[in-house]
């Protein structure tokens, strides 16, 4: 298993071994050269015949080892299917031909053109993309080319001076190129973490030193020394072949070991595949033929005939069936995963296909498939139910939000998203508490189930939406709470409806009051008009009577006629004033007025009218004189209206109190009676227009219901306030508060002193008389 899963660690170890081996080889060969130069292997007293015999023996050994090296490289190529080993074998085929020919011809040459051919082959090895497809033809071509180059080298050897500078430079260049090739192969070996080229590198280094040795023997030595150096050079060549043979057998041993490990791991893999009882797994070659299938496949598709021939027939049968790809999750053409439906068999299959390339042209396919008909149909049914549930949820007007116990949103229906103006991705995953207004509720909201809560929620744009919610626990099969569902109603529309209803009721009440007012107005107009008309009829009947009789009759009914004319005039004036108040066009004429004297004077003016009902009026103040900014005409009208009401609604033999209380900020005028009082439910409405306490047409007092509304408007023109306190059958107190300020000298106008006219008093108090 370490071979499968610990590849990186294994490569690191191999790189260290390769680096150490390369350094060792370079050091070994370098030290060998140094040793040979300073400690000759050949005795000085050896004869020429003995040296020639030794050289011949070395040629034979070199030829034998070159053949072994060539055969070993071919075996390595056959085992690994690596084209680089085939090119290496061509290198040693060339050397094998050279040294075999030297033995046959009994001649020794230096074959520098063949060295160039070997350099070309080495370059081809480094260019790993170059592939020899026709191996046999390539081998024949190399043999023929090697023989041709031997002829060329023989020609050069016989006709060119070995001591020429040109040849020496060629030998040196070839040696340098071999060293460079050795360095490049060292880098390639280290990067690919392979032992394959270590010994080839050693062979190249040995051949390079052989070339340097040959050049040195030509330049610095005599002919006898050249033979000695030829012997040494052959030793280096033999060493290079020995290194290649050792490397080949080392690689074969490593290959056999790797193959053994691979077979073990493959056996383990097959056992794991057979243990998979859920899927049918088969391996196919590039011809679509099954060469392996697990037991589950045989059990499901082979009946009693457990053979690969029968399984391949079954596979061909399935390949001819029409099928539809339902779902495709493929990442690329080499790794495909999809679900298919075979209509003829009504079967759904889940299929995974993985393609493995072992070379550029050869690959295998691993196909895993399983029958998922039941699961697919069940999943399809669940999806339909989910879609139905989602459709129902989206069409429910209620807001549904599913959260975890921590408040994280996991579900929201369409109504929730539409109400809060969020899209699905921006809303799901957020904490619901983040949407709730801080002053609405706390985190205990979700723990209080089955209880309605009203709180405010912020939508996407920051607008506040009011919710009425109830929280339900979602339980699993063990009846334990797993999540919570918040069911909410948007109160915004309901609140709008409530506001509309309230406004409608207000408008309706206003219309009812207005209708009552006009009914009352018609009564208020009709009554004095009837009296005036009846009086005129009496006058017409009395025209024929004696002048004294008519005069006495006139004096008897003149007061009634005048009072009812004043009633109509007062009613018209009130209508005009209420209209001016609506459009805010009521004029004011502010002056500095002694408010104490003015109020006391008005109070004294109505004493006679109060006496008609046997009422007393008492005036009191805490200050004798103070001038304030006010409009005398408006103040007069306010006081006369309040005193008129006090007289009308106070029984006989009672007292009316008028008090003026001054403080630093306000002038407070109190009008208090001991009359019938005002019901508490009517006190807030008494200053609204068209409001009357007694709305019946047969009431004992007259009035249109707009007097106090006008009073309030006049008080507000002074930036003042009006209020009341009242108890049934105990009386009512009206309080008028006017700012205690006066006009500056520059604000004063040339106004005459204001005098209260009896006519105005009679006009404002014209409706205090009882109707007969």
Q: What digits encode the pLDDT tens for the residues 224-257?
A: 455 666 676 667 677 777 777 777 777 777 777 7
Query: Does residue 417 share a domain with residue 309?
Result: no
| Model confidence at 7: pLDDT above 50 | no
Q: Which is nearest to 594 in space by CA: 644, 671, 660?
A: 660
- The answer, yes or no, to whether residue 5 has pLDDT greater than 50, is no
φ/ψ of residue 378, rounded to 5 = -65, -45
Q: Return the sign of the alpha-carbon dihedral for residues 546, 547, 548, 551.
A: positive
Measured CA to CA, the distance from residue 705 to residue 687 in angstroms comes to 9
pLDDT of residue 3: 35
Question: What pLDDT score does 223 carry?
Answer: 47
Q: Which of 322, 342, 377 is the last residue of a domain?
A: 377
Q: In the predicted model, what is the mean pLDDT of the chain?
A: 76
The two tokens of residue 635 are: 């103040």
Highest mean predicted confidence (pLDDT) among 24-28, 39-43, 581-585, 645-649: 645-649
- The domain total for the chain is 5
* Residue whose tokens read 């006049």: 714
Mean pLDDT of 203-224: 58
Q: Would you put residue 39 in left (φ > 0), alpha (ψ -120 to 50) or beta? A: beta
Q: Can you give the CATH number for the domain in which 360 is found?
A: 3.30.450
Same domain, 7 and 129: yes
Is 266 part of a structural domain of the chain?
no
> Can you tell me the distance from the alpha carbon of 419 to that of 417, in angstroms, rounded to the nearest whole number?
6
pLDDT the model gives residue 644: 87
What is the structure's pLDDT at 32?
56
Closest to 646 (Cα-Cα) out of 766, 735, 732: 732
What pLDDT was estimated at residue 772? 31
Residues 208, 83 within the same domain: yes
Examine the domain organization and report whether 709 and 623 are in the same domain: yes
**pLDDT for 672-721, tens place per residue?**
999 989 888 788 778 876 565 554 444 444 455 567 888 898 899 899 99
| Shared-domain flag, residues 366 and 475 | no
- The reported pLDDT for the residue numbered 473 is 82
Confidence of residue 261 (pLDDT cuts 50, 70, 90): confident
Instruction: Compute φ and ψ for 125, nearest 5 degrees.
Output: -65, -40
Pair of tokens at residue 159: 């006709």
- Do 357 and 501 lie in one domain? The reply is no
Q: Which residues contact 356 (CB under 8 A, 6 or more apart)?
A: 363, 364, 365, 366
393 within domain boundaries: no
What's the confidence (pLDDT) of residue 693? 52
Asked if residue 222 and residue 106 are part of one domain, the reply reads: yes
Element (H, E) at 668: strand 666-672
How sure is the predictor about 122, in pLDDT bands with cuts at 50, 70 and 90? low
Categorize the per-residue pLDDT at 303 as very low, low, confident or very high, splitting at 50, 70 and 90.
confident
Q: Is residue 595 part of a domain?
A: yes
Same domain, 649 and 759: yes
For the chain, the helix, strand and coil percentages under 3-state DSSP, each to the nearest 5: 55, 15, 25
Instruction: Specify whether 472 is located in the same domain as 361.
Output: no
Q: In the listed set 204, 232, 259, which residue is the last one of a domain according to the structure?
A: 259
Residue 384 falls inside a structural domain: no
The residue among 185, 149, 187, 153 whose CA lies nearest residue 167 is: 153
pLDDT in tens, 450-501: 778 888 888 888 888 888 888 888 876 655 666 888 888 888 777 788 888 8
| H-run or E-run covering 470 | strand 464-475
Q: How confident is the model at residue 737 (pLDDT cuts 50, 70, 90)?
A: very high
For residue 378, how many C-alpha atoms fall within 13 Å in the half-sphere facing its CB? 4
Closest CA to 114 of 97, 129, 132: 97
Mean pLDDT of the 731-757 span: 77
pLDDT at residue 754 tops 90: no
Residue 427 and residue 403 in contact, taking contact as beta carbons nearer than 8 Å: no
The residue among 88 and 724 whose pLDDT is bigger is 724
Residues 6+ positions from 687 with CB-CB distance below 8 Å: 708, 709, 711, 712, 722
HSE at residue 524, side-chain half, CA atoms within 13 A, is 26
Say what the pTM is: 0.39
Ranges 17-31, 162-176, 534-548: which has the least confidence: 17-31
Q: Which residue has the higher pLDDT, 424 or 152?
A: 424
> Is 727 inside a domain boundary?
yes
Averaged pLDDT, 613-632: 91
User: Which residues pair with residue 353 across a beta bridge?
Assistant: 336, 367
576: buried, middle or exposed (CB in 10 Å: 19+, 13-18, 0-12)? exposed
Query: Using CA atoms, how far apart are residues 754 and 510, in angstroms rounded to an integer?
Result: 38
Listing DSSP states for 265-277 in one string gives HHHHHHHHHHH--
Tens-digit pLDDT profile for residues 147-160: 887 777 777 666 66
pLDDT at residue 733, as a whole number = 94
Domain-terminating residue out of 227, 259, 291: 259
387 domain-assigned: no
Q: Closest by alpha carbon to 638, among 582, 592, 687, 684?
A: 687
Residues 6+ apart with CB under 8 A from 176: 208
Helix pair angle (707-717, 632-648), 10° resolution = 150
Q: Based on the domain organization, do 142 and 222 belong to the same domain?
A: yes
Local structure of 163: helix, strand or coil: coil
> Does residue 607 fall inside a structural domain?
yes
Asked if 193 and 15 count as a contact pair (C-beta separation under 8 A), the reply is yes
The rounded Cα 183 to chain-centroid distance in angstroms is 56
pLDDT at 30: 62
Q: Tell me what pLDDT residue 113 has.
A: 62
Q: Let me know whether 439 and 529 are in one domain.
A: no
One domain, residues 345 and 422: no
Quickly state the pLDDT bin for 43 (edges 50, 70, 90): low
pLDDT reported for residue 306: 79
C-alpha–C-alpha distance, residues 66 and 60, integer Å: 10
What percent of the chain is modeled with pLDDT above 90?
A: 9
What's the confidence (pLDDT) of residue 656?
A: 94
- Please report, for the domain that includes residue 443, its CATH number: 3.30.450.20
Q: Find the range with the poorest average confidence among 95-99, 132-136, 303-307.
A: 132-136
Q: Looking at residue 771, what is its pLDDT?
A: 32
- 557/532 Cα distance (integer angstroms): 10
pLDDT reported for residue 666:
94
Residue with the larger pLDDT of the pair 477 and 411: 411
Per-residue pLDDT, 722: 93
Is residue 281 a contact partner of residue 366, using CB atoms and an 8 Å limit? yes
Of the chain, the percentage scoring pLDDT greater than 70 comes to 72
pLDDT value at residue 739: 95
Alpha-carbon span 653 to 615, nearest angstrom: 5
| Average pLDDT of the residues in 188-217 | 60
CB count in 10 Å sphere of residue 694: 13
Domain assignment present for residue 267? The answer is no
Q: Please report how the helices 223-275 and 83-105 are oriented relative to each other, as an axis angle in degrees rounded to 10.
A: 150
Range of the domain at 534: 497-558
């Amino acid at each position: 298993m370490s071979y499968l899963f610990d590849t990186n660690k294994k490569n690191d170890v191999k790189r260290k071994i390769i680096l150490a081996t390369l350094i060792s080889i370079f050091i070994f060969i370098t030290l060998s050269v140094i040793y040979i130069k300073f400690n000759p292997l050949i005795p000085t007293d050896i004869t020429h015949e003995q040296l020639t015999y030794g050289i011949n023996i070395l040629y034979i050994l070199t030829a034998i080892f070159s053949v072994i090296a060539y055969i070993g490289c071919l075996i390595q190529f056959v085992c690994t299917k690596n084209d680089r080993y085939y090119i290496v074998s061509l290198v040693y085929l060339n050397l094998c031909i050279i040294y075999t020919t030297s033995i046959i011809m009994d001649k020794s040459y230096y074959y520098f053109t063949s060295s160039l051919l070997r350099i070309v082959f080495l370059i081809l090895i480094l260019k790993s993309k170059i592939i020899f497809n026709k191996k046999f033809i390539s081998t024949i071509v190399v043999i023929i080319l090697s023989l041709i180059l031997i002829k060329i080298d023989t020609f050069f050897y016989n006709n060119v001076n070995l001591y020429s500078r040109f040849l020496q430079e060629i030998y040196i260049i070839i040696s340098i190129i071999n060293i460079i090739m050795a360095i490049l192969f060292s880098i390639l070996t280290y990067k690919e973490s392979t032992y394959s080229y270590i010994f080839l590198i050693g062979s190249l280094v040995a051949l390079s030193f052989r070339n340097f040795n040959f050049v040195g023997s030509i330049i610095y030595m005599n002919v006898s020394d050249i033979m000695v150096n030829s012997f040494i050079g052959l030793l280096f060549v033999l060493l290079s072949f020995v290194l290649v043979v050792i490397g080949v057998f080392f690689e074969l041993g490593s290959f056999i070991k790797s193959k053994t490990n691979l077979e073990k791991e493959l056996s383990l893999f097959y056992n794991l595949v057979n243990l998979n009882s859920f899927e049918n797994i088969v391996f196919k070659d590039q011809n679509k033929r099954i060469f392996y299938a697990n037991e589950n496949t045989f059990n499901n598709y082979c009946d009693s005939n457990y053979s690969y021939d029968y399984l391949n027939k079954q596979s061909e049968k399935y390949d001819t069936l029409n099928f539809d790809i339902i779902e495709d999750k493929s990442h690329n053409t080499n790794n495909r995963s999809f679900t298919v439906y075979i209509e003829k068999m009504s079967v759904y299959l889940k299929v995974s296909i993985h393609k493995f390339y072992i070379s550029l042209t050869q690959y295998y396919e691993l196909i895993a498939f399983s029958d998922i008909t039941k699961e697919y149909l069940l999943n399809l049914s669940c999806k339909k139910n989910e879609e139905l549930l989602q459709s129902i949820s989206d069409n429910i007007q209620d807001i549904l939000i599913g959260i975890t116990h921590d408040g994280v949103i996991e579900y929201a229906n369409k109504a929730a998203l539409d109400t809060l103006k969020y899209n699905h991705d921006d809303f799901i995953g957020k904490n619901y508490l983040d949407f709730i207004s801080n002053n609405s509720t706390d985190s205990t909201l979700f723990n209080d189930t089955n209880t309605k809560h009203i709180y405010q929620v912020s939508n996407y744009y920051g607008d506040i939406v009011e919710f009425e919610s109830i929280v339900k626990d979602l339980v699993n099969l063990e009846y334990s709470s797993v999540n919570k569902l918040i069911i909410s109603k948007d109160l915004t529309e309901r609140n709008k409806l409530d506001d509309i209803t309230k406004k409608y009721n207000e408008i309706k009440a206003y219309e009812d009051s207005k209708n009552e007012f006009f009914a009352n107005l018609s009564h208020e107009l009709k009554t004095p008009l009837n009296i005036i008309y009846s009086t005129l009829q009496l006058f017409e009947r009395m025209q024929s009577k004696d002048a004294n009789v008519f005069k006495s009759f006139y004096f008897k009914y003149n007061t009634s006629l005048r009072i009812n004319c004043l009633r109509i005039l007062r009613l018209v004036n009130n209508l005009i004033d209420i209209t001016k108040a609506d459009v805010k066009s009521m004029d004011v004429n502010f002056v500095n007025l002694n408010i104490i004297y003015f109020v006391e004077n008005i109070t004294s003016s109505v004493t006679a009218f109060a006496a008609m009902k046997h009422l007393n009026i008492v005036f009191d103040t805490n200050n004798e004189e103070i001038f304030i900014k006010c409009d005398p005409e408006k103040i007069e009208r306010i006081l006369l209206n309040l005193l008129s009401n006090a007289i009308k609604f106070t029984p006989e033999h009672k007292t009316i109190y008028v008090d003026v209380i001054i403080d630093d900020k306000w002038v407070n005028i109190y009008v208090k009676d001991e009359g019938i009082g005002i019901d508490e439910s009517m006190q807030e409405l008494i200053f609204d227009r068209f409001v009357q306490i007694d709305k019946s047409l047969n009431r004992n007092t007259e009035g249109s219901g707009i007097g106090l509304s006008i009073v309030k408007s006049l008080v507000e023109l002074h930036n003042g306030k009006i209020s009341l306190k009242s108890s049934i059958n105990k009386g009512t107190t009206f309080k008028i508060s006017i700012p205690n300020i006066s006009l500056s000298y520059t604000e004063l106008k040339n106004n005459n002193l204001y005098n209260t006219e009896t006519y105005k008093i009679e006009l404002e108090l014209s409706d205090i008389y009882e109707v007969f």
